[in-house]
Structure 1
Amino acid sequence: EGSFTGTGQKLTASVGIRDCLNAVKPFYERVMEKWRHDPAPTFKKRGVGLGAMWYGIGNTGLQNPSTAQIEMDPEGSVTLYTGCADIGQGSTTVLSQIAGEMLGLSPGAIRAVVADTKYTTDAGATSASRQTYISGNAVKDAAGKLVEILLTEASNLLKRPKESLILDSGLIRDKNDPEKTVPVTDIVRRAHEKGLSLKCQGSFDPVTEPLDPETGQGVPYATYAFACHLAQVTVDVLTGEVEVNRIVAAHDVGKAINPAGVIGQIYGGVAMGIGFGLMERYVPGRTVSLNDYDIPTCKDMPDIVPIVVESAEPTGPYGAKGVGEPALIPTAPAVLNAISDALGERIYTLPANPERVLEAAVAAGVFPGSHGVKQPA
């Protein structure tokens, strides 16, 4: 914290890169102490590599808004309306958790209407790892407005200061006087009888500053995610095949609203990173289907050790940022650095397929029969 980016932006909070490095450090030390130097099988070499990254959450210096609506019906049932498209990253669960936390309800009590243009307002694209941070804040804003209405009505009924009232499991109660409680449904009925609307809209647009076209200076993102990955690989110098043995992945997510979801994102990102680093190659005119495009299978997946680092973002919903793309980015650099460590020669062109690995092995003099290389017994 306190350092400046290349665009002149000062990082003032939620800078978890040091914590990510420290989280990976004991794994690195243990691996370098023993595994890296243990005898490898014949014609195979072991390597260890690190990859670190930082990633801006949201659009780059552009308006980046999201909106959401929350409605409570006369029976007290809650519906969340969000245009946030859940494409498997678990955003619907996270947004329901945020709404539930605000309203004192379990996420399962929140009915979600998702990405239905008849009912939902614009939440922006599901891209740039932005939905937890930006749509999460929009949901929190909408829920906060609904809470304000409910607590105002409860304060009038209970004759208690609004600041001392909380929502808890279908009740509104005074945190200083347990005897002072009222069911939320009673307050909802009172509100409907008064003609009050219990459908509230929230919005959020992170504060950014466009990059100056002349100087490149500006504030392109309101917050950044940070990560560090450690890769252990075994390289077959006869075939050029690379086995990724383990990935240790430490990610600063601000606050893990759904830890299981964060870990799932890390697993998925690592899988994509392995494909990007070792297999995936598009050749125009030749790559016409997945039959011509190699991607990892379950047999290619290493042991993955996910580490969730929390460095709360003051502007995020409950301190959260994002982890979608960040889980992918450090994997290939870590794997490529590990291959370089194993061979003593760096590969600069991706993917590091067997042909390129063999070229590097020959250049490094570790391919069997290369000049000056002793054949394994």
Structure 2
Amino acid sequence: MKKRGFGIGTMWYGIGNTASNNPAGAFVDISDDGTVTVLTGCADMGQGSTTVLAQIAAETIGVCLEDVVVVSADTGVTPDAGASSASRQTYISGNAVRLAAESAREPMLSKAAEILNRPIQTLTLKQGRIWNGDQPTELTVKELITKCRGDGNLTLGHGYFNPAATKLDPENGQGIPYATYAFATQVAEVIVDTETGMVEVTKIVAAHDVGKAINPQSVEGQIEGGCAMGLGYALTEEVVIKDGEIKNPALSTYLVPTSMDVPEVYPIIIEELEASGPYGAKGVGEPALVPTAAAIANAVTDALGIRIYDLPMTPEKIVEAIKAASEEKPNYETKLK
């Protein structure tokens, strides 16, 4: 018999290292031709941080994304950005890049104010031009850089950001361990075969508060990937250890979800802007994984009326739990029917 169930998982997650300093730095150089070089220690392992940092620099300086080159994770030339962990790089390195880009553009805005005879506060750089309020001027970014060079001014900038946090008081556990938090709720739909114990996750709806989604497609990819990881955590991935030795060290025995196992995932991006983040952004990396297993476990409970606390919920464990429940409650199978 197959039973359908629905479950919900909700989480909050602190962005950055817990109750400790974790700064990041960045350098920005705007060249004569209007291209921008960003130097950051942020390591991109596939999460898309290089693209996001390029977007932040491009937005701040007012050039096209294609005009930004990011040099990352080179210990010979890039400043320290800390670990690519704790879902921190968009928030912390993103702020460092934004501040470095603002520093690099400062002499440009000063020169523009002089040329246009306008207050510097009214001027911005966007779309490759200088804008006065909401009106574009004839002065381009490239022309402005040439004029800065003529004055002997280089358009270089550096910046660093360290999120505000305080250590926890060991006596009462009070403190401010994180400067900002991510929030998420996921709902899972499952079908459980009561004879085989197989669980099919058919849908996951995942709503995540990410602050500003600087790259929405990347955010959706992070959410979908996190749900796939959570699926493995909930149902298949288990390290079997006996006498201190891992007994399933290969992918043939340590089972990760394949494309055939991953359900439909419906990512929902909630943009509640974070005042201390770069353009309102926070993080989404690990939060995408955190609620998934709980949502699936709750859905299995909804389907069977049995709570399984031991992950992963393998078919063997589910069949054993159903058998134990039926022995304790003789009418259990009748209730299933």
TM-score in same-fold range (> 0.5): yes
Distance in 2 (CA, whole Å) between partners of 1:176 and 1:108 is 24
1:375, CA displacement in angstroms?
9.9
Distance in 1 (CA, whole Å) between partners of 2:294 and 2:114 is 60
Distance in 1 (CA, whole Å) between partners of 2:7 and 2:135 is 58
Structure 1 residues 177, 313: closer, same or farther in 2, change over 3 A? closer
Pick which of 319-328 and 141-150 moved more: 141-150
Distance in 1 (CA, whole Å) between partners of 2:147 and 2:97 is 24
Structure 1 residues 364, 341: closer, same or farther in 2, change over 3 A? farther
Q: 1:34 maps to what in 2? A: none
Structure 1 residues 366, 109: closer, same or farther in 2, change over 3 A? farther
Q: Could you tell me which amino acid in structure 2 is paired with residue 210 of structure 1?
A: K
Q: 2:154 maps to what in 1? A: 197
Q: 2:12 maps to what in 1? A: 54
Secondary structure, in 3 states, of the residue corresponding to 1:300? coil
Q: Is 2:211 aligned against 1:254?
A: yes
1:289, CA displacement in angstroms?
2.3
Q: 1:166 maps to what in 2? A: 124
1:146, CA displacement in angstroms?
1.6
Pick which of 104-113 and 342-351 moved more: 104-113
Distance in 2 (CA, whole Å) between partners of 1:134 and 1:65 is 7
Distance in 2 (CA, whole Å) between partners of 1:149 and 1:63 is 31
Structure 2 contact 34–67 (Cα < 8 Å) conserved: no
Runs (5+) with no aligned partner, structure 1: 1-42
Q: Is 2:254 aligned against 1:266?
A: no
Q: 2:70 maps to what in 1? A: 112
Q: 1:311 maps to what in 2? A: 272
Q: Aligned residues, how many?
A: 332
1:366, CA displacement in angstroms?
9.6
Secondary structure, in 3 states, of the residue corresponding to 1:298? coil
Secondary structure, in 3 states, of the residue corresponding to 2:92? helix
TM-score (norm 2): 0.94
Distance in 1 (CA, whole Å) between partners of 2:24 and 2:217 is 25
Q: Is 2:7 aligned against 1:44?
A: no
Secondary structure, in 3 states, of the residue corresponding to 2:157? strand
Secondary structure, in 3 states, of the residue corresponding to 1:296? coil
- 1:64-79 alignment, distance < 5 Å: 64-79=22-37
TM-score (norm 1): 0.84
1:265-308 CA-partner distances (Å, limit 9, x unpaired): 00000000000010100123212222221100011111111111
Q: 1:131 maps to what in 2? A: 89
Distance in 1 (CA, whole Å) between partners of 2:131 and 2:229 is 48
Q: Could you tell me which amino acid in structure 2 is paired with residue 309 of structure 1?
A: I
- 1:137-148 alignment, distance < 5 Å: 137-148=95-106
1:299-356 CA-partner distances (Å, limit 9, x unpaired): 1111111111111111011111110000000000000001011111100111101111
Q: Could you tell me which amino acid in structure 2 is paired with residue 222 of structure 1?
A: A
Structure 2 contact 103–156 (Cα < 8 Å) conserved: no
Q: Could you tell me which amino acid in structure 2 is paired with residue 272 of structure 1?
A: M
Distance in 2 (CA, whole Å) between partners of 1:375 and 1:86 is 52
Instruction: Select 2:45's aligned residue among 71, 87, 90.
Output: 87
- The alignment's C-alpha RMSD in Å is 1.8
Q: Could you tell me which amino acid in structure 2 is paired with residue 226 of structure 1?
A: F
Distance in 2 (CA, whole Å) between partners of 1:298 and 1:177 is 50
1:154, CA displacement in angstroms?
1.2
Distance in 2 (CA, whole Å) between partners of 1:191 and 1:60 is 43
Over the matched positions of the two proteins, sequence identity in percent amounts to 52
Pick which of 160-169 and 66-75 moved more: 160-169
1:118, CA displacement in angstroms?
2.1
Structure 2 contact 105–155 (Cα < 8 Å) conserved: no
Q: Is 2:221 aligned against 1:221?
A: no
1:121, CA displacement in angstroms?
0.7
Structure 2 contact 3–303 (Cα < 8 Å) conserved: yes
Distance in 2 (CA, whole Å) between partners of 1:165 and 1:253 is 30
Q: Could you tell me which amino acid in structure 2 is paired with residue 199 of structure 1?
A: L
Structure 1 residues 208, 376: closer, same or farther in 2, change over 3 A? closer
Instruction: Select 2:112's aligned residue among 148, 151, 154.
Output: 154
Structure 1 residues 241, 121: closer, same or farther in 2, change over 3 A? same
Structure 1 contact 343–364 (Cα < 8 Å) conserved: no
Structure 1 residues 331, 177: closer, same or farther in 2, change over 3 A? closer
Q: Could you tell me which amino acid in structure 2 is paired with residue 232 of structure 1?
A: E
Structure 2 contact 201–262 (Cα < 8 Å) conserved: yes
1:107, CA displacement in angstroms?
1.6
1:97-148 CA-partner distances (Å, limit 9, x unpaired): 1111111122222111111122211111000000111111111101111222
